[in-house]
Amino acid sequence: MLSFFKDYKYFAIVFLIIAIIIMTIIYNVLNVEKPLPIYQPSMVNFELVDSTIQYKKKYHKIADFSLTNQNGKTITQEDYKNKIYVADFFFTTCQTICPIMTDHMVYIQKELEDEPEILLLSHTVTPEIDSVAQLKKYALEKGVDDSRWNLVTGDRKQIYDLARKSYLAVKDVGSADPYDMIHTENFMLIDKKSQIRGFYDGTKLEDIERLISDIRKLKKDSE
């Protein structure tokens, strides 16, 4: 009888080892990397979202736009059609977070220099100050690659609406000016279908590294 239980014990150990191996294999097979989320207004801090869409849970996309870049060229959604791109909001005279954000955009531009299909788009939140000439001066100072990175200015209301209703990226000041806004440090990752796939702190290098990784993942998933 004791011999039987002894033999059974060894069988149980072997069975347990085999079971663990099988479970590990199944876990690795099923543990497929999850796709990046598709952000909807209801998923984002309400402070950054226009009140008219705060509870929207699906079908959110970046709206059509028409703005002017640092070279005086009109930039529309067609320039970003079927492209993966990173968007942000800034202004050239900002002395706080903007220089860091711009340096990190330059870093992204350099890290992805062999992937010219990945684009960048920076919107000024002070279009009355950031003229085409001012944006061009800033672009030259920062080393902006005009073929991939547009710094855009234009109608203040349109920029405000894009920021609050499309990119979900700036705070409403609540002042007498209905289109007054405070930009945040957010970088937004936009996919080929004009959907938001990620938010990143543009002042933190670790977030920028995560953004670059997500860009490559999104590119691979969309091929």
Q: What is the pLDDT of residue 83?
A: 97
Q: Tell me which residue range forms the domain holding 20.
A: 1-32
Confidence class for position 176, pLDDT limits 50, 70, 90: low
Same domain assignment for residues 206 and 123: yes
pLDDT in tens, 148-157: 999 999 999 9
Query: How many domains does the structure of the chain reveal?
Result: 2
> Is the domain of 107 the same as that of 4?
no
Instruction: Flag whether pLDDT at 32 surpasses 80.
Output: no
pLDDT of residue 20: 67
Q: Both 9 and 119 in a single domain?
A: no
Region of residue 166 (left: phi > 0; alpha: psi -120 to 50; beta: else): alpha
Q: Is 104 annotated in some ligand binding site? A: no
Rg over CA atoms, the chain: 24
113 and 151 co-located in one domain: yes
Question: Are residue 28 and residue 47 in the same domain, yes or no?
Answer: no
Position 25 confidence tier, pLDDT thresholds 50, 70, 90: low
Model pLDDT, residue 31 = 46
> Which CATH number belongs to the domain containing residue 46 in this structure?
3.40.30.10
Q: Is 98 annotated as a binding residue?
A: yes
Residue 13 and residue 105 in one domain:
no
Instruction: Clarify whether residues 25 and 64 are in a common domain.
Output: no
The pLDDT tens digits of the residues spanning 106-149 come to 999 999 999 999 999 999 999 999 999 999 999 999 999 999 99
Ligand-binding site membership of 183 (annotated) = yes
Q: Are residues 23 and 107 in the same domain?
A: no
Question: What b/e sequence results for 180-214 when a residue is b if at least 16 CB atoms lie within 10 Å of its CB, and e otherwise?
Answer: ebebbbbbbbbbbebbbbbbbbbbeeebbeebbeb
